[in-house]
Amino acid sequence: MEKFIIEGGQPLSGTVVPAGNKNAALPVLAATLLTREEVVLRNIPRIRDVEAQIDLLRQVGAEAEWRDENVVAVCGAGVRETAVDAALAERIRASFLLAGPLLARFGRATMPPPGGDVIGRRRLDPHLDAFRALGATVRSGRVYDIEAPEGLCACDFFMDEPSVMATENALMAAALTPGSTVIHNAASEPHVQDLARLLLAMGARIEGIGSNVIVVHGQEELGGADFAIGPDYIEIGSFIAAAACTGGELRIVDAGPDDLRMTRLAFARLGCRIDVDGDDIVVPAGQELRVRDDDGDAVSKIEDGPWPAFPADLTSIALAMATQAQGMVLIHEKMFENRLFFVDKLVSMGARVIVCDPHRAVVSGPSRLHGERMESPDIRAGMALLIAALCADGTSEIGNVRQIDRGYERIEERLRALGARIERVPPRGVAQQGEPLSV
């Protein structure tokens, strides 16, 4: 497997342009199956999860091509297949997002269990309950057979949790179902909003975008569109943490500051100063991170939750930053019981972290980290380890970097441009361009 070799201790400074939101790219790609017309999607990151989703679209019969560096065009006129390939589906969690479009357009979807990061139990029940509320029947076994041979029916239903992907599946199915569907307790993350805006551009009418009650006035047919997704606020948070931990000055252009309000509040508890300059985010140089205790000298806490709370995907990043902050802080990951299981790798680097239970860890800093050999267990933990390696003394080696590649576009190239000393090393026996094969 490929690995990163990182020589720590170099400040990250300069300007970076954030990639498009990974978690928006995957549902908008799935939504292209709702129409026979071409949909052009812009600002799509070229990462492994996106390539996997495009492979799934092609498998069911869509034509998809990269028109430019970050522009994908998809035409679903030739889609006939409603059974998703199991081997392709297990590559990503977002494979299950094909269920809503296939069901709404063809009356059936046969879905194998999805793949994705192993960060805890991730229920499919909210997806299936939404399909049932819309009039579909669901048979569960080795695969999920979801059928509505007479078509779906608009409805009013309440989700038992504000699941992001289930909300997205419900939105897509309802957009191609004539009538008004009301989704209560809906997720409202920026990527859900991006999907809703694409559906508007395709001809649906949607009220309540950005709220937890969404009304979808579905249509019998949807058309093509040309749509750009927003910046990836999780990647932006990762770059902020990397700059703050290494002491560099970083400008992140066109960062969408409104989507970073809670991230800025949470990082401020760790003493991280973040300035807003128009649409840009600026991380000043030479910061001395210090935990801001709660009133009465109580231990401060960073906890995640559904939007607009602190994003779960940034808890690993916040924990890595906390190792460099003076003081003590509790990191409470409420949503996924396996997300904190990478902490032992930070401890091996010299971090002082006590894992209280699967959801909580207490970090006491600052810790002088040293280089280590590690494996990336998932996307966000891999990025957290990379941030730790960037500010550690000596050289670190991170294996299984395919996990990081799933969510971060050309990360080593972009970090090098900011001053990081990082190299990608191919598996033994695989030569880089211009190099001989090792034997």
What are the φ/ψ torsions at residue 261 (nearest 5 degrees)?
-60, -50
Q: What pLDDT, on the 0 to 100 scale, is given for residue 430? A: 52
Residues 166, 45, single domain; the answer is yes
Distance of CA 348 to the CA centre of its chain: 27
- Nearest-Å Rg of the Cα atoms of the chain is 22
Closest to 408 in 3D by CA, of 240, 267, 194, 234: 234
Q: State how far the Cα of 369 lies from the Cα of 209, in Å rounded to an integer.
A: 44
CA angle 408, 32, 135 (to 5 degrees): 115
Q: Which two tokens stand for residue 208?
A: 């309540």
Q: Is 439 inside a domain boundary?
A: no
Report the residue count for the chain: 439
Residues 11, 56, single domain; the answer is no
Q: Is 213 inside a domain boundary?
A: yes
Closest to 226 in 3D by CA, of 254, 198, 206: 198
Residues 186, 172, single domain; the answer is yes
Distance of CA 188 to the CA centre of its chain: 14
Q: Is 438 inside a domain boundary?
A: no
Q: State how far the Cα of 215 lies from the Cα of 156, in Å rounded to an integer.
A: 9
Closest to 408 in 3D by CA, of 117, 52, 89, 46: 46
Under 8 Å between Cβ of 241 and 321: yes
Q: Is 199 inside a domain boundary?
A: yes
Q: Is 437 inside a domain boundary?
A: no
**From the candidates 49, 55, 85, 117, which is the catalytic residue?**
117
Q: Position of tokens 């019981």?
A: 337
Residues 290, 421, single domain; the answer is yes
Q: What pLDDT, on the 0 to 100 scale, is given for residue 116? A: 62
Residues 138, 160, single domain; the answer is yes
Residues 267, 396, single domain; the answer is yes
Closest to 277 in 3D by CA, of 306, 248, 308, 249: 249
Closest to 41 in 3D by CA, of 10, 13, 14, 73: 73
Q: What pLDDT, on the 0 to 100 scale, is given for residue 432? A: 47
Residues 212, 239, single domain; the answer is no
Residues 115, 209, single domain; the answer is yes
Q: End of a domain among 219, 254, 285?
A: 219
What 8-state DSSP symbol labels residue 170? Answer: H
Q: What pLDDT, on the 0 to 100 scale, is given for residue 216? A: 98
How many structural domains is the chain composed of?
2
Q: End of a domain among 171, 192, 219?
A: 219
Residues 6+ positions from 26 with CB-CB distance below 8 Å: 49, 50, 53, 92, 94, 97
Give me the domain span that covers residue 315.
3-18+232-425
Note the pTM of the prediction, 2 decimals.
0.94
CATH of the domain at 185: 3.65.10.10
Residues 205, 251, single domain; the answer is no
Count of Cβ atoms closer than 10 Å to residue 125 Cβ:
12
Active site residue 117: yes
Residues 274, 209, single domain; the answer is no
Under 8 Å between Cβ of 274 and 243: no
Q: Is 127 inside a domain boundary?
A: yes
Residues 340, 404, single domain; the answer is yes
> What H or E segment, with its residue span, contains residue 178?
none
Q: Is 432 inside a domain boundary?
A: no
Q: End of a domain among 197, 219, 241?
A: 219
Give the strands of the sheet with 395-399, arranged side by side: 373-375, 395-399, 3-7, 421-425
- The type of residue at 439 is V
Closest to 111 in 3D by CA, of 134, 87, 83: 83
Residues 8, 45, single domain; the answer is no
Q: What is the pLDDT along the chain (439 residues), one digit of tens a residue?
A: 899 999 999 999 999 999 999 999 999 999 999 999 999 999 999 999 999 999 999 999 999 999 999 999 999 999 999 999 999 999 999 999 999 999 999 999 999 999 865 454 568 999 999 999 999 999 998 899 999 999 999 999 999 999 999 999 999 999 999 999 999 999 999 999 999 999 999 999 999 999 999 999 999 999 999 999 999 999 999 999 999 999 999 999 999 999 999 999 999 999 999 999 999 999 999 999 999 999 998 999 999 999 999 999 999 999 999 999 999 999 999 988 888 989 999 999 999 999 999 999 999 999 999 999 999 999 999 999 999 999 999 999 999 999 999 999 999 999 999 999 999 999 875 544 434 333 2
Q: Which two tokens stand for residue 16?
A: 């970076």
